[in-house]
């Protein structure tokens, strides 16, 4: 990609406080009905029509540099593996053995020259073709040439690897819109995934419907109320960004004057952009939201991705992947660790909020709320997409509206 | 007990909207609007970084006085500012008890045209 083209795109954000203020609709914008967060029929539609049709983040390109390198993830209800073949091709395929349905690979890593199911050792080539099954003579009818792991679409943008189950879905490039050039601009591809004793991913399970967590991440209206640390660290009023219907990026400048909080002050003293990041990003923190539930925190010293996965109607798993510069030094490591400490507090504050919301949306007296057209504009866009894709929401809204009419009569 | 940082939900709206409007009003007493706005931004950021709820409330009272005493032609800026600042006093009750001087400030703001935002009745 032509770097000058990228710079032009990034320098001309269309999503500014002024532009949002000028786009207010005439009518109040209402949130999804509370019942949309507890309805089992809608949940099944979300898995099928949202997660199993969208491009879902599965890993970083640095994890897939050699043949046999793989990453695994769940795309809706489908366990998938993305693996580099002996021919150098990246392929996404079902991670479910065609024999008795065990998942084949777990986590991330590198296989030997084939993939072997841990249950009965059915063994697959890296392109998904069944190579052999133990005691093969015992099968009355097993044509190994006819057995292969179903293949899915794989895409790479800005170093991030995505998988999509839907052959008719728009391209990854189209879904990302301005986010693709933004990730290129930030040189996310030049980073490497940070591994801990727990591996290359960190997961956390929440007892809320996935949309409550997504709604919360998508708006900064609650930030000054819930997160005083962020009020002191960044100047939210200077946020700029860009978006299409599916994805958005934004960035907000750090305050340059020191916080009174010692930990925040130490963090401020360490902020410095990594090698490879553009000069124009000096002093900024970035955010990315990708439909339906991929979020990124782009710090000058490291990058976190946060992928939400519905694991039940009221159960959501968040998977975090941390990316650092391959030659991360002590200063950047300390900045990352300090931000992790601050984020533990921030996450705790969000858990408190989302737990309250999950209880609240189940209240018979609650139907839906009015959204702030400026500071909750991403929630509005997100929920608009859900309404378009999921006819069940209209049914639930009709029910809720009917109840409200009865209440007021 | 209220967390000492709890008042920090108040400043962001003021930081975003008030300095340019208040500068238009305050600059009628001398000084350029740009200088007044810059000084206001610095003061608000100082309060965010180093201040507390009492200092914030004192700032609101000062701002309310400027709005109330304004006698120029920019009635729209005066009205919007009065509304924003009055909302601040209403919201601040979640973290501090208003005192007589705050109530005086609210009365001044009402005379200056403070009204709820358009369509705020839901």
Q: What is the pLDDT along chain A (409 residues), one digit of tens a residue?
A: 333 344 444 545 566 655 655 666 667 799 999 999 999 999 999 999 999 999 999 999 999 999 999 999 999 999 999 999 999 999 999 999 999 999 999 999 999 999 999 999 999 999 999 999 999 889 998 998 999 999 999 999 999 999 999 999 999 999 999 999 999 999 999 999 999 988 999 999 999 999 999 999 999 999 999 999 999 999 999 999 999 999 999 999 999 999 999 999 999 999 999 999 999 999 999 999 999 999 999 999 999 999 999 999 999 999 999 999 999 999 999 999 999 999 999 999 999 999 999 999 999 999 999 999 999 999 999 999 999 999 999 999 998 776 655 554 4
Q: How many CB pairs under 8 A join A and B?
A: 41
Note whether residue A404 is domain-resident: no
Do A123 and A205 lie in a common domain?
no
Chain A neighbors of B2, CB-CB under 8 A: none
Residue count of chain B: 122
Q: Please give, rounded to a whole number of angstroms, the shortest distance from the CA of B6 to a CA of chain A.
A: 7
* Secondary structure letter of residue A254 according to DSSP: B
Tell me which residue in B6, B12, B50 faces A260 most closely, judged by beta carbons. B50
A236 — contact with chain B (CB < 8 Å)?
yes
Q: Do B119 and A28 touch (CB under 8 A)?
A: yes
Q: Do B49 and A225 touch (CB under 8 A)?
A: no
ipTM of the complex in this document: 0.82
Q: Can you give the pTM of this predicted structure? A: 0.90
What pLDDT is stored for residue A404 in this prediction?
A: 57
* Phi-psi domain of A106 (left: phi exceeds 0; alpha: psi -120 through 50; beta: other): beta
Note whether residue A338 is domain-resident: yes
Report yes or no: A86 and A70 within 8 Å, Cβ to Cβ: no
Number of domains, chain A:
2
Q: How many CB atoms lie within 10 A of CB A11?
A: 10
Do A83 and A217 lie in a common domain?
no
Q: Please give, rounded to a whole number of angstroms, the shortest distance from the CA of B120 to a CA of chain A.
A: 10
Tell me which residue in B16, B49, B119 faces A259 most closely, judged by beta carbons. B49
- Using a 10 angstrom Cβ sphere, with 0-12 exposed, 13-18 middle and 19 or more buried, the burial of residue B73 is exposed
A residues 369-388 closer than 8 Å to B (CB)? 370
Question: Is the model's pLDDT at B117 over the cut of 90?
Answer: no
Spatial separation of the C-alpha atoms in residues A349 and A345, rounded to whole Å = 6
Place of tokens 């391959």: A326
Q: Do A228 and B8 touch (CB under 8 A)?
A: yes
* Domain at A211, CATH number: 3.90.380.10
Note whether residue A118 is domain-resident: yes
A353 — contact with chain B (CB < 8 Å)?
no
Spatial separation of the C-alpha atoms in residues A225 and A219, rounded to whole Å = 12
Q: How many CB atoms lie within 10 A of CB A328?
A: 18
3-state secondary structure of A379: helix
Tell me which residue in B3, B11, B122 faces A370 most closely, judged by beta carbons. B122
Spatial separation of the C-alpha atoms in residues B61 and B108, rounded to whole Å = 10
* Secondary structure letter of residue A129 according to DSSP: B
Q: What residues have CB less than 8 Å from A298, skipping those under 6 apart?
A: A186, A188, A251, A285, A286, A287, A288
* Domain at A77, CATH number: 2.102.10.10
Site from A27, A223, A225, A374 to mutate, B interface, most B CB atoms within 10 angstroms: A225
Site from A17, A27, A227, A235 to mutate, B interface, most B CB atoms within 10 angstroms: A235
Q: Please give, rounded to a whole number of angstroms, the shortest distance from the CA of B16 to a CA of chain A.
A: 5
Q: What residues have CB less than 8 Å from A335, skipping those under 6 apart?
A: A267, A270, A271, A272, A299, A300, A301, A302
Residue A381 in tokens = 């866009």
Task: Give the structural domain span for A298.
Answer: 3-53+191-391
In this prediction, residues B63-72 reach a mean pLDDT of 93
Report yes or no: A302 and A323 within 8 Å, Cβ to Cβ: yes
Note whether residue A111 is domain-resident: yes
Residue count of chain A: 409
Do A111 and A216 lie in a common domain?
no
Spatial separation of the C-alpha atoms in residues A241 and A12, rounded to whole Å = 9
Tell me which residue in B9, B12, B46 faces A237 most closely, judged by beta carbons. B12
What pLDDT is stored for residue A8 in this prediction?
A: 41
Do A108 and A143 lie in a common domain?
yes
Note whether residue A225 is domain-resident: yes
């Amino acid at each position: 990609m032509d770097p000058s083209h990228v710079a032009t795109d990034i320098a001309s954000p269309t999503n500014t406080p002024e532009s949002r203020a000028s786009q207010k609709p005439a009518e109040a914008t209402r949130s999804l009905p509370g019942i949309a967060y507890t309805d089992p029929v809608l949940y099944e539609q979300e898995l099928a029509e949202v997660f199993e049709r969208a491009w879902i983040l599965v890993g970083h390109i640095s994890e897939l540099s050699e043949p046999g390198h793989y990453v695994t993830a769940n795309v809706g209800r489908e366990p998938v593996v993305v693996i580099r073949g002996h021919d150098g091709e990246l392929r996404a395929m079902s991670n479910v053995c065609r024999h008795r349905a065990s998942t084949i690979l777990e986590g991330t890593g590198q296989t030997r020259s084939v993939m072997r199911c841990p249950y009965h050792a059915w063994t697959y080539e890296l392109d998904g073709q069944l190579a052999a099954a133990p005691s093969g003579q015992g099968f009355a009818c097993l044509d190994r040439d006819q057995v292969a792991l179903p293949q899915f679409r794989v895409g790479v943008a800005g170093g991030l690897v995505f998988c999509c189950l839907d052959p008719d879905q728009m391209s990854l490039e189209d879904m990302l819109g301005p986010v693709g050039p933004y990730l290129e601009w930030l040189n996310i591809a030049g980073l490497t995934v940070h591994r801990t004793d727990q591996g290359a991913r960190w997961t956390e399970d929440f007892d809320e419907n996935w949309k409550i967590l997504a709604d919360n991440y998508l708006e900064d209206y609650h930030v000054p109320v819930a997160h005083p640390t962020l009020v002191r660290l960044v100047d939210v009023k200077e946020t700029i960004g860009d978006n299409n219907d599916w994805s958005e990026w934004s960035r907000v400048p750090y305050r340059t004057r020191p916080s009174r909080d010692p930990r925040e002050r130490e963090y401020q003293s360490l902020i410095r952009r990594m090698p490879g990041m553009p000069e124009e990003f000096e002093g900024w923190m970035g955010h990315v939201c990708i439909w339906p539930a991929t979020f990124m925190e782009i710090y000058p010293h490291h990058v976190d991705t946060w992928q939400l996965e519905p694991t039940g109607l009221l159960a959501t798993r968040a998977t975090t992947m941390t990316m650092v510069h391959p030659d991360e030094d002590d200063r950047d490591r300390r900045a990352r660790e300090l931000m992790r400490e601050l984020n533990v507090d921030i996450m705790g504050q969000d858990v408190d909020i989302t737990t309250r919301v999950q209880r609240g949306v189940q209240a018979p007296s609650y139907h839906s709320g009015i959204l702030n057209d400026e500071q909750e504009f991403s929630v509005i866009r997100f929920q608009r997409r859900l309404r378009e894709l999921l006819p069940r929401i209209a049914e639930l809204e009709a029910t809720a509206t009917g109840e409200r009419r009865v209440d007021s009569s | 007990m209220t967390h000492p940082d709890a008042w920090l939900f108040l400043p962001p709206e003021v930081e975003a909207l008030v300095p340019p409007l208040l500068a238009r009003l305050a600059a009628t007493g001398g000084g350029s609007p740009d200088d007044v706005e810059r000084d206001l931004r610095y003061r608000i950021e100082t309060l965010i970084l180093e201040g507390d709820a009492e200092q914030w409330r004192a700032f609101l009272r000062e701002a309310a006085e400027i709005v109330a005493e304004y006698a120029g032609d920019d009635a729209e800026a005066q009205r919007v500012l009065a509304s924003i600042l009055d909302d601040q006093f209403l919201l601040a009750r979640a973290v501090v008890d208003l005192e007589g001087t705050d109530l005086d400030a609210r009365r001044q703001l009402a005379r200056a045209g403070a009204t709820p935002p358009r369509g705020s009745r839901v």
